[in-house]
Amino acid sequence: MSQFKVTKQIEFCYGHRLLEYDGKCKHLHGHNGLLEIEVGADSLDSLGMVIDFGEIKDIVKKWVDDNMDHKMILSKDDPILGMLNDINEPVYVLDGNPTAENIARQIHVEARKAGLDILEIRLWETPSSFATYSSANNSGHSSE
């Protein structure tokens, strides 16, 4: 486990709906999401930092802005996907249901691909509800 940890927050907006769900979230709806990106290290760099907060922002915010911000995040199996593509609506497609848990996992995977030693991603879907995704092994790159 890392001795040092830093957390950067990033806000973004997205829409989604959950397939085969019996509740209000089965309908298209939106969220003002808040990401918390936790990065860790066993030691500090020459400046006394785990990582510059700006570097986390540059990597994760750019990916989120390019891929998920102000887009519908939908399952590849969602029947509305074809219609939204036909009218050029911005969509991000996940293999599974676009739950907060699956969205957090996808952001975690992409941030690690970009070289960040992500310990944990928290996605606040509302001010009182969040989902967390962390690697099984926090001391090195995951095998996702």
Of residues 11, 13, 29, 70, which has the active-site annotation?
A: 70
Q: Is 16 a catalytic residue?
A: no
Q: Is 25 a catalytic residue?
A: yes
Token look-up 């808040």 returns: 34
Which H or E run contains 84?
A: helix 81-86
What is the number of helices (H) and of strands (E) in the chain? 4, 6
Token look-up 């709906």 returns: 17
CA 51 to chain centre: 19
What's the CA gap between 125 and 11, in Å, rounded?
A: 10
Note the helical H segments in the chain: 53-56, 62-67, 81-86, 100-113
What's the CA gap between 28 and 75, in Å, rounded?
A: 12
Q: Is 101 a catalytic residue?
A: no
141: tokens are 């790159």
Catalytic residues: 25, 70, 125
